[in-house]
Amino acid sequence: MRSMRIYLDHNATSPLRESARNAMLAALELHGNASSIHAEGRKAHALLDDAREAISRAVGAIAPMVVFTSGGSEANNLALKGAPVRRLIVSTIEHPSVLEAAKVSGKQVDIVPVDGQGIIDLFALDQLLARGPKTLVSVMLANNETGVIEPVRDVVAVAHRHGALVHCDAVQALGKIAVNFGLLGVDLLSVSAHKLGGPWGAGALIIRDGLALFPLIHGGGQELRRRAGTENIAAIAGFAAAVQEKILEIKSLRDYLELRLEGTKIFGAEAERLPNTSCFAMPGLAAETALMALDLAGFAVSSGSACSSGKVAKSHVLAAMGIAPDLASSAIRVSLGWTTTPQDIEQFISAWAKLIARRKAA
């Protein structure tokens, strides 16, 4: 058994960066409420303003458009439930925080399919938008399981032609590829801290200037009355620090890994993907078996379909792509990050080869 573990599950949570840790520790020294007018409160408010500015710059927006939330799930819920529309159109591969929020929103919900590579069907979207009431379209920028990047600008062109709004869940994309609110052309954008080396419990919804949303949380006047409650200053400070780190240059490691995975099926391989993500399967090797063996060997990886219970669940993403259930049940997701080294990849390749060899010998 390995004495040192190797973490390759950055799409679930990326370890806290030193810059984020330092920013959080400094923020914890403050003891004023950002809504108070005394000197202590003004210090906290100044930190909040600086963080809002940093995050707005990182995503190509302006500071007043940034509404801090407890994370990506809350940001997605605020977008879907708060948008001034009567209908939601969501892609079939969206994160559960989008799919479940749509179900309970009280609005009409339509689902748009994807092709075999996981790319949204723009023709089907156009057909859906040709009829029906005022609509919000929600399409992620990059899929958390496969890493496949969606043609969001094309989605926006189709949606805006029909007078629809567009929400984009960019939680998995931020920090891995360039994310620019203005260039994407969307009306709402969700981001989160812990996927890029920031802390848990901090996220934001970027709201197009002039677009009014109904708040989920009522109370005080925080976040320009769009999200009541005292802000998590320390987590927000960590978020702001992490978002200023350089975008990962890690595609060569991911590509090398995939070249060495003989006999595996790589999902979404023909589409543009996040540079850090590989979702693959060895036919006949159950994901749960592989995950347990790799964990014992010292590797933290994931099934692309890990659910909140910590168990391996069926992947709605791979099902939507038309992947056969027996192959989908073998899917493993390896996601690289800022801590990943070439030695980590070499050691994973060795461990995977040993696992396959033992399976063939059994």
Q: Which residue has the tokens 């391989």?
A: 269
Neighbouring residues of 324: CB distance < 8 A, sequence distance ≥ 6: none
- Structure tokens given for 155: 């989605």
- Structure tokens given for 337: 């990050």
CA dihedral 96, 99, 101, 102 (to 10 degrees): 180
- The answer to whether 303 and 318 are in contact (CB under 8 A) is no
Distance between CA 273 and CA 292 in Å, rounded? 27
- The answer to whether 100 and 159 are in contact (CB under 8 A) is no
- Structure tokens given for 310: 């910590």
DSSP state of 283: T
Q: What secondary structure does DSSP assign to 211-248, as a single string?
A: -----SS-SS-HHHHTS-S---HHHHHHHHHHHTSPPP
Nearest to 267 by CA among 152, 116, 149, 122: 116
Rounded-to-5 percentages of helix, strand, coil across the chain: 40, 15, 45
In Å, what is the CA distance from 186 to each residue of 44, 180, 294?
Answer: 31, 10, 40
Q: Which amino acid is at 237?
A: A
Q: Is 307 a catalytic residue?
A: yes
Among the options 307, 313, 324, 357, which is catalytic? 307
Catalytic machinery residues: 307
